[in-house]
Amino acid sequence: MAEFRWRWKGSAAPEVRVAPFLYGKSWAYSVEIDDGPASTLAVSLPLLASYYFSDAPPGVTGGKLLPFVGGAAVFPLRVGTGSPAYLETAQLQQLERAGWAVLNHGYAHRGNSWEPDGALTPAQLREELFWSQVVLAASRESHRSPTHFVYPNGYMAYQQHLSAFGLVSGSRVAGKKPGLSTLSDLDRNYLDESVWSKANDPLVGLPRVPQPGQWVIDFTHGMEAAPSSPNHKRWRERLGFIERLGDGLWCAPTPAVVAYLQAARVAKLKIERDGLTVTLPESLPGSPLTLQLKGLPADAPTPPGATLYRQGETAWLTTPLLGKPDAAPPAALECVYSGPVRELRFPRPVRVAGVRLLQRGETRPEFRLSLALTTSGASQTLVDGPLKPAWGVWLLYALLPNASATLATGLVPTTDPALTTMEVWVQP
């Protein structure tokens, strides 16, 4: 259990409840940038960060101003490829240090419901979720996997597999009414330029007077940088309107809101005359909690890492993070080799779980890719066939999670100038 203790000198226990949203706020706002464009860091981060909300409860003055932040929905096929169009691993980490969240968008953005061959098998769905969680965990400074999933192409077949891979919530391409329906089927306002420009309304989908408990989620595939562009002007008008809606606003990445909602539902409070204890199950993604108290002694100290606001007889305490952030990876895999595509002889036998290859261009016409694992007295071929032209993609050839890792002494690949980097992932 994750636990928070707070002690004070008192003669009577105060009244305590968990606030509906962090900081005692009445409604929440989230922004998701789909597909991991490089403009997420270059344009969206500074644009959102020029708008603020206060960490003080509604009606309380003197709060600390916090910048608007969002979430980057990425798929590892395109992360860290050297392409100027997509985010690099270091840029993902930079976003997270600025308060943004990394959202899982599948490994290769596969699956749709409108093409005859767009459907994925259960094995393909598991592979997409498993490897996206593993690679994204390795890409993050926390080494933890995301807990929020953005359905590629709105393909909802992923939904039944999310929980098996540590994903507790999901948002789809668009919906009738943005907000909270079920945690694995969150609706969003579709604000791509091609759609938004037709609506000709910067405030489309926004409540003019937010209601208590309301949660609005916007999403786009990118924002335009030029201040004179219609898209940039619409975003400025929209974000400025949200900022002016009042002090009931909490702006946070989608998984932070989900984590708070889950924690608030199950938090156990033990209230005594001289203190309180809050506990959360370790199975949940970690979250701070805001407690609203009446009858708290005036000299009760602010706990380390917490914030405390008062107004009249009411106090609001926001705890530090309770529990661990996000989720443990679905498997403790280790990348034991990252370098040029070449034949490998491992110093000792290793259990190979998968191989990734970075392709940056068109291979020779006669080229066939082969990846052969050397085993005791035999070999196992992971792939043998031609490659389509691709510029900046991490191709994946996996054993886990649908087969067992192979105990191998070496790896023999065929090579081509278009294949620039190879990664070998093993099961310790």
Asked if 158 and 139 sit in the same domain, the reply is: yes
125-to-121, 187, 202, 242, 351 alpha-carbon distances in Å: 6, 22, 36, 37, 23
138 part of a folded domain = yes
Q: What is the pLDDT of residues 153-165, one digit of tens each?
A: 999 999 999 999 9
Q: What angle do CA 198, 200, 201 make, to 5 degrees?
A: 130
- Lowest-confidence pick of 81-85, 171-175, 300-304: 171-175
Strands (E), 227-339: 249-251, 268-272, 275-280, 290-294, 307-311, 314-318, 334-339
Answer yes or no: do 148 and 285 share one domain. Answer: no
pLDDT at 177 over 50: no
| pLDDT value at 63 more than 90 | yes
Is 207 inside a domain boundary?
A: yes
Beta strands in 80-178 (DSSP E): 101-104, 148-150, 169-171
- Distance CA(270)–CA(387), nearest Å, equals 61
Mean pLDDT of 201-210: 95
Residues 279 and 236 in one domain: no
Residues 103 and 199 in one domain: yes
- Residue 249: inside a domain: yes
Of 257, 289, 313, the domain-final residue:
257
- In 3D space, the residue among 180, 360, 163 whose CA is nearest the CA of residue 171 turns out to be 180
On whether residue 262 sits in a domain, the answer given is no
Check if the beta carbon of residue 50 is closer than 8 Å to that of residue 288. no
Q: How does pLDDT run across 366-422, given as a tens digit for each residue?
A: 999 999 999 987 899 999 999 999 999 999 999 999 999 999 999 999 999 999 999
Structure-token pair, residue 379? 């070999």
d(CA 111, CA 157): 8
Q: What is the pLDDT of residues 317-328, one digit of tens each?
A: 999 999 999 999
AA letter at 251: C
207 and 58 share one domain: yes
pTM to 2 decimal places: 0.96
Judged against a pLDDT cut of 50, whether residue 179 lies above it is answered with no
pLDDT at 384: 97
pLDDT at 256 over 80: yes
Locate all alpha helices (DSSP H) within 68-186, ordered by sequence.
89-97, 122-139
In the block, which residue shows the tokens 């938090």?
Answer: 267
Domain containing 354 — which CATH number? Answer: 2.60.120
> pLDDT band for position 200 (50/70/90)?
confident
Region 37-57: mean pLDDT is 99
- The answer to whether residue 175 scores a pLDDT higher than 60 is no
Residue 329 located in a structural domain: no
Calpha distance 56→51 (Å, rounded) = 16
Q: Report pLDDT for 180.
A: 46
Residues 115 and 202 in one domain: yes
Same domain? 115 vs 160: yes
Q: In whole angstroms, what is the distance from residue 401 CA to residue 75 CA? A: 18
Q: How far is CA 224 from the centre of its chain?
A: 22
Which of the listed residues 257, 275, 300 is the one where a domain comes to its end?
257
Specify whether 289 is located in the same domain as 169: no
Structural domain total, the chain: 3
Report the CATH number that the domain containing residue 129 is assigned in CATH: 3.20.20.370
> Whole-angstrom distance between the N-terminal and C-terminal Cα of the chain?
28
Report whether pLDDT(152) > 70.
Answer: yes
Read off the pLDDT band of 178 (50, 70, 90): very low
Element containing residue 261 per DSSP (H, E): helix 254-266
| Residue 95 is assigned to a structural domain of this protein | yes
Please indicate, yes or no, if residue 245 is contained in any of the structural domains. yes
What is the Cα–Cα distance from 81 to 85, expressed in whole angstroms? 10
Entry field: residues in the chain: 428
Q: What is the dihedral of CA 188, 189, 192, 196, to 10 degrees?
A: 170
Domain boundary among 204, 228, 257: 257
Count Cβ atoms within 10 A of the Cβ of residue 157 and give its class: 0-12 exposed, 13-18 middle, 19 or more buried.
middle
291 pLDDT more than 80: yes
Same domain membership, residue 277 and residue 243: no
* Residue 369: domain span: 334-427
Given this model, what pLDDT does residue 415 score?
99
Determine what percent of the chain is predicted with pLDDT higher than 90. 94
Going by pLDDT thresholds of 50, 70 and 90, the confidence category of residue 172 is: confident
Q: What pLDDT score was predicted for residue 174? A: 56
pLDDT for res 378: 85
Asked if residue 354 and residue 247 are part of one domain, the reply reads: no
Note whether 242 and 386 are same-domain residues.
Answer: no
| pLDDT mean across residues, the chain | 96
Mean pLDDT of 309-319: 98
**Whether residue 353 sits in one domain with residue 207:** no
Residue 428 CA to residue 166 CA, distance in Å, equals 20
